[in-house]
């Protein structure tokens, strides 16, 4: 197998890919520095593709500041749409398979049934809209792609909800956490494992897939479990979304159906609480 280029290597998922690749002894992954691997620089990207002749390109690069995107529409669109178009164009030219990470925010979140890949998309935020636009430009350039929509990503790396809750739990006596947004946490180590399984099996089951951990929860219940599993004592109070206004609107229900990933990609998906236990056990003692 040829090389695998990782874009967005310094982010949370990029670091998890490095961790899992190390465990699986997959030394073909190339973790590119951000300055060298700017997806908004077509000329620089072309040099990378010419140099490495990659078999796969994994795109973890994204504009993910959900609230800030409401004010930085152009920048969010450049990264989440135009950068993806740049990568897709070169993937087609170099016979490279693109693995692109997307989000549950492409859905409105107004339903109450687990979302299928074929369900109607209707983003309700700039972030969700620009991520959907990124999904849509890929098939216009290449047919060899995997789009993986994920949700509520966390790990022992970078900044995320789990680490924020643990920090707040140490610093505060009481926390108020939203209980009327329902979804599924995703341990980024598990998502990285799914991506590397696609590569390791050289799957040609191209298309769009949903990948989160199994199970359903709210942000409030997620926080309660974080505190329970980490032996953190803090009073936690459930609140409605309306009591915690944000610039961007979040989906109220974004549980995704993972049947397609399990059957066509052959991945086993742990329950979110089991993966949370693993993550917390790997975090340094507080």
Residues classed as catalytic: 127
Q: Are the beta carbons of 5 and 37 closer than 8 angstroms?
A: yes
Helices (H), the chain: 12-24, 42-52, 73-77, 83-93, 126-141, 161-171, 188-201, 219-229, 259-264, 272-282
**Residue keyed to tokens 């290449």:** 142
Could you tell me which of 103, 220, 108, 195 has the C-alpha nearest to residue 152? Answer: 103
Neighbours of 154 (CB within 10 A): 25
The distance between the two most distant Cα atoms of the chain, rounded to a whole number of Å, is 56
**Residue keyed to tokens 């609480």:** 273
Task: Report in angstroms the alpha-carbon separations of 75 from 43, 47, 64, 149, 278.
Answer: 19, 24, 11, 21, 36
For residue 60 the two structure tokens come to 């973890």
Residues ≥6 apart with Cβ < 8 Å to 99 = 56, 57, 58, 59, 145, 146, 148, 195, 198, 199
For residue 57 the two structure tokens come to 């390109």
Helices (H), 104-187: 126-141, 161-171
- Chain-centroid distance of CA 253 in Å reads 17
Q: How far apart are CA 125 and CA 91, in angstroms?
A: 29
């Amino acid at each position: 197998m040829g090389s695998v280029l990782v874009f967005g290597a310094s982010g949370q998922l990029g670091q998890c890919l490095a961790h899992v690749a190390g465990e699986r002894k997959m030394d073909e992954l190339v973790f590119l520095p951000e300055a060298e691997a700017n997806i908004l620089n077509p000329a620089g990207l072309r040099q990378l593709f010419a140099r490495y002749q990659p078999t796969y390109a994994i795109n973890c690069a994204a504009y993910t500041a959900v609230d800030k995107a409401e004010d930085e529409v152009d920048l969010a669109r450049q990264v989440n749409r135009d950068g993806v178009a740049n990568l897709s164009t070169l993937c087609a030219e170099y016979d490279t398979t693109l693995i692109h990470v997307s989000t549950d925010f492409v859905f409105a979140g107004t339903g109450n049934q687990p979302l299928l890949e074929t369900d109607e998309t209707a983003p309700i935020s700039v972030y969700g809209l620009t991520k959907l636009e990124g999904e849509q430009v890929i098939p216009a350039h290449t047919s060899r792609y995997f789009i993986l929509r994920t949700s509520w990503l966390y790990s022992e790396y970078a900044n995320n909800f789990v680490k924020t809750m643990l920090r707040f739990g140490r610093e505060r006596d009481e926390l108020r956490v939203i209980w009327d947004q329902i979804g599924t946490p995703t341990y980024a180590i598990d998502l990285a494992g799914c991506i590397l399984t696609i590569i390791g099996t050289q799957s040609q089951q191209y298309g769009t897939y949903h990948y989160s951990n199994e199970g359903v929860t709210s942000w409030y219940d997620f926080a309660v479990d974080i505190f329970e599993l980490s032996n953190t004592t803090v009073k936690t109070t459930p609140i409605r979304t309306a009591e915690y206004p944000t610039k961007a609107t979040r989906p109220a229900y974004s549980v995704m159906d993972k049947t397609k990933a399990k059957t066509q990609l052959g991945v086993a998906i742990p329950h979110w609480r089991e993966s949370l236990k693993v993550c917390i056990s790997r975090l340094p003692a507080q």
